Amino acid sequence: MLTPPEQFGIIEKGVYRSDMLHPSHFSFIKALQLKTALVLSPEVPTRAVLNFLEENNIKLVHLGLSIWKPNLGWRPVSEELIKDGLEMALDVGNHPILVLCTSGIHETGTFVGCLRKLQNWNFSSIVAEYRSYAGNKNNNNYCNKKKERNHKSLIKDVVCMVQIK
């Protein structure tokens, strides 16, 4: 039986998003014939996930661990993490690629928002897509609005950095 991760989605052809993998997802993930798994959160995948990736020749790039910075203040994730992640995802040599974080929402949602801005999506559409994955995970409306404003500011900053490079 093929069971996708709860937050699985297709970003673009050959670029997928997800929350952290579990053994119940392995058959589904194997069918994608991934070349790269890009982890944006600092948490280390389980031994079962690491073994699965290795057995299936899926390159693990754990940017969340190598770039993680404490005390980012109001920023949900670091600009460097998103910028480096975008560079990896935009390189078709890494495709098919799965971009994931612990929840499949925060780091991955910010990453996808930056990618969508590079694709000239408007912010209303970017926020709508973010909300479709966030669902009721955080049902404090004030908190959500503040997070969305922070994501919007970060998206502008990162997109400028990627375009300048």
Tokens matching residue 38: 């890009």
Tokens matching residue 48: 């079962």
Of 101, 114, 143, 160, which is the active-site residue? 101
Q: Cα(40)–Cα(28) distance, rounded to whole angstroms?
A: 21
Largest CA distance in the chain: 45
Contact 94, 88 (CB under 8 A): yes
Query: Which residue from 64, 101, 106 is spatially nearest to 81, judged by alpha carbons?
Result: 64
Q: Is 114 a catalytic residue?
A: no
Phi/psi for 15 (5° steps) reads: -130, 120
Angle between helices 106-118 and 123-134 (to 10 degrees): 160
Counts of helices then strands in the chain (DSSP H, E):
7, 5
Catalytic residue numbers? Answer: 101
